[in-house]
Amino acid sequence: MANILTDMHMDHASLMAAMLHDVIEDTGFSKEQLANEFSEEVAELVDGVSKIAQIKFESKAEQQAENLRKMMLAMTRDIRVILIKLADRLHNMRTLHVMRAEKRRRIATETLELYAPIAFRLGMYNMRVEYEDLAFHAIYPMRAKLIGQAVKKPAATARKSSPPSRPAWNTAWKKKVSKPGYWAAKSTSTASTPR
Q: Classify 2-144 by CATH class.
A: mainly alpha
CA dist., res. 147 & res. 1, Å (int): 29
For residue 185, the number of C-alpha atoms closer than 13 Å in the C-beta half-sphere is 7
pLDDT, average across residues 73-86? 82
Name the percent of the chain lying above pLDDT 70.
68
CA dist., res. 36 & res. 43, Å (int): 9
- Do the beta carbons of residue 67 and residue 111 sit within 8 Å? no
- pLDDT tens for each residue of 99-139: 999 999 999 998 988 889 889 988 999 999 999 999 999 99
Catalogue the active-site residues: 25-26
Helical pair 40-53 and 12-19, crossing angle rounded to 10 deg: 50
Q: For residue 24, count other CB atoms closer than 10 A to its CB.
A: 21
Query: What is the reported pLDDT for 153?
Result: 79
CA dist., res. 38 & res. 21, Å (int): 13
CA dist., res. 67 & res. 85, Å (int): 12
Is the pLDDT score of 166 beyond 60?
no
Q: For residue 81, count other CB atoms closer than 10 A to its CB.
A: 26
pLDDT, average across residues 136-155? 88
Helical pair 182-191 and 168-177, crossing angle rounded to 10 deg: 80
- Do the beta carbons of residue 78 and residue 44 sit within 8 Å? yes
CA dist., res. 100 & res. 122, Å (int): 31
Amino acid at 155: A
Under 8 Å CB-to-CB from 175, ≥6 apart: which residues? none
CA dist., res. 107 & res. 73, Å (int): 22
CA-based torsion, 81, 87, 88, 89: positive or negative = positive
Query: What is the reported pLDDT for 150?
Result: 87
- This prediction's pTM: 0.70
Is the pLDDT score of 10 beyond 70?
yes
Could you report how far apart the first and last alpha carbons of the chain are, in Å?
72
